[in-house]
Structure 1
């Protein structure tokens, strides 16, 4: 199991820095965390139920709560607070960050929407980050 040794919230640069016992250190942009939230609101309850997230470039984390000894629960400035980011999921986000950004940009292009577009009522299909 991947276990963090340090977690630092950099509010000004909008990055969560997570260091792990294996010496890996990841700087996770808040926007990436928000658009790849493991919540049902973003991921849905099964394949094809994902919601593509837009308009999250300037999102911040307003609070960060530990959940037991296995996860963090961020509250984002847009009100989203239902995703539990396990240590394993944070590690996967960090290790796969470039591929996740590329996948997100591809999904935006396929949906014909801008990263900065306001969130519509519902944009389905391919919002998942695939982690």
Structure 2
């Protein structure tokens, strides 16, 4: 069941600024960076199938949200430019990400550093055409 306080009154995909903007009836506005949404996708691919930190997502700095579909009254299904589209972002999860994004960013950047990952996609090797 959806708590009315977690249901946004307006949803905007801000492609230029790479933000998902959620506005609420009480005047609150949350802006969630696309990269944050992608690396904290609630999908099994990202979170894993059991306990633990899940799969570290790397190279997602330039990812875009390419689509958003409402799922009933409880969630938003986002599609990303890297083909990922299997996570259902509940309204309460989106609020948690928005309100605590500094902590999520700090944890993500620390994990990238600890595991030798990068926010940038690997450069494609230059190939000489015959």
The TM-score normalised by the length of structure 2 is 0.86
- DSSP-derived class of the 1:34 partner: helix
Partner of 1:45 in structure 2? 49
* Structure 1 portions without partners, runs of 5+: 119-131
Residue in structure 1 matched with residue 15 of structure 2 by the alignment: 11
Partners in 2 of 1:11 and 1:117 — Cα distance? 19
Residues 120-131 of structure 1 mapped to structure 2, 5 A cutoff: none
Partner SS for 1:65: strand
Q: Distance in 1 between matches of 2:31 and 2:24?
A: 12
Give the superposed CA RMSD. 1.2
Worse-superposed segment, 40-49 or 87-96: 40-49
TM-score by length of 1: 0.85
Q: In structure 2, list runs of 5 or more residues that go unmatched.
A: 123-130
Specify the SS of the correspondent of 2:9. strand
Q: CA deviation at 1:45?
A: 1.5
| Deviations 1:53-105 (CA, angstroms, capped at 9, x unpaired) | 00001101111111111111011000000000110011000000100000000
